[in-house]
Amino acid sequence: MIRLATSNRLEALADALADDVAATGRTLYDQVELVVPNRLVEGFVKRKLAVRLGVAANVRARTLGAFLRDAAARIAPEVRIADRDAIEGELLALFHDPRRSGGPRAELGPVDAYLASADDAEGRDRRRVQLAGKLADLFDAYAFSRPEMLAAWRRGSLAPDVDPDAQRWQRELWLALHGRGGPLAPPAARTLPDLFAERPAPALAGLSVFVFGISYVARLYRTIFASLGRDNAVRLYTLNPCREFWEDLEPARRGGDGRRFPRRRVREQLTLFQSSTERDAISPSAAEAAAGDESPLLARWGRPGRDNLRLLNQLTDCDFTSCFAGP
């Protein structure tokens, strides 16, 4: 079961979470599973719980990644999770093995050139560590946000909407880890999205988790929420600046100017107006009319949040609790 609560104020969301925790009838010995984006939000929520419940005890707060890794270990303890830390360690081993990373393959030319340009052995080691960390972040994010590109890499091709020169050397490194014979190749190792897509979470049946303040996640995280929500209570608390249902404004956006949201490959900076001339010429009322009935700030600035809420509403069939606070 998945429940969604939205509000324009973080304080109102925290009050809703405290009310839901109190409604469970828990005692001090019952653990509260709390998922937060960072330690600052964790402290804020715990203070709210202490005010509402009298004491904030036995609250286990973790980031989303840490929570999902623990859940995956309970679901499939025999499977190695190919997360960011595992990827970084394997990349470091690969960069220190000349048979795997320093061969004649042209695809790895940019990597070899970067490592070889260091002044001494200590500099090369530093570059290995830095490159492994950056690529680990990137490959871990690809598992959640670019599954189509990774599938193309497994087939030996490239994604059509990404720079092919950057893809070639990244694909070579990724396949060295996740391809056939690699240390993170399935079935011995799986990424979190793949694991939750293949296996529901029966071992976690009865779990109640509160996910607070995470305003945007990659779409495959929502697939994971759906898997967890089959047999567990998952409560999501997220900010939403718009009290109305944003999808009601979709026709105005569909017929609007596509230049407002250029594709990533265009490499344009999103701006409030298209040019300084347009900025000077368009009055606020004209800009409002150009966006239809939608606020121009929501139309031009709120797209990531709107898309996130659309997919969260799909998880709950648009059954959510509104906790909006007036000015």
Residues 177-190: pLDDT tens digits?
998 888 999 888 98
Q: Is the pLDDT of residue 236 over 80?
A: yes
Residue 95 is assigned to a structural domain of this protein: yes
| Long-range contacts of the stretch 104-109 (C-beta < 8 A, 24+) | 105/172, 107/168, 107/169, 107/171, 107/172, 108/169, 108/172, 108/173, 109/169
Residue 327 is assigned to a structural domain of this protein: no
Residues 133, 178: one domain? yes
What are the DSSP E strand ranges found in the chain? 2-7, 32-35, 59-62, 80-81, 189-190, 208-212, 233-239, 320-322
Q: Which domain holds residue 101?
A: 80-192
Q: What is the model's pTM?
A: 0.69
Residue 247 is assigned to a structural domain of this protein: no
Q: What pLDDT does residue 202 have?
A: 59
What percent of the chain clears pLDDT 70, i.e. is strictly above it?
Answer: 74
| CA 311, chain centre distance (Å) | 13
Residues 113, 128: one domain? yes
Residue 84 is assigned to a structural domain of this protein: yes
For helices 84-95 and 164-178, give the axis angle rounded to 10 degrees: 100
How many alpha carbons lie under 13 Å from residue 285 in its C-beta half-sphere?
Answer: 0
CATH number for position 26: 3.40.50.10930
Residues 266, 310: one domain? no
109-158 pLDDT tens trace: 888 888 888 888 898 899 999 999 999 999 998 988 888 899 999 988 89
Residues 11, 70: one domain? yes
Q: What pLDDT does residue 136 have?
A: 94
- Number of structural domains found in the chain: 3
Residue 36 is assigned to a structural domain of this protein: yes
258-311 pLDDT tens trace: 444 444 434 433 333 444 444 444 444 444 444 445 566 666 556 666 777 777
Give, in order, the Cα–Cα distances in Å from 78 to each of 65, 143, 188, 238, 271: 19, 20, 8, 34, 49
CATH number for position 155: 1.10.10.160
Residues 72, 106: one domain? no
Residue 156 is assigned to a structural domain of this protein: yes
Residue 292 is assigned to a structural domain of this protein: yes
Residues 93, 9: one domain? no
CA dist., res. 286 & res. 284, Å (int): 5
Residues 88, 175: one domain? yes
Residue 246 is assigned to a structural domain of this protein: no
Residues 283, 218: one domain? no
Residues 173, 285: one domain? no
CA dist., res. 250 & res. 32, Å (int): 38
Residues 59, 206: one domain? yes
170-227 pLDDT tens trace: 999 999 899 888 899 988 898 888 887 776 665 666 678 898 988 767 667 777 887 7
Residues 87, 151: one domain? yes
Residues 91, 159: one domain? yes
User: Which of the two residues, 45 and 307, has the higher pLDDT score?
Assistant: 45
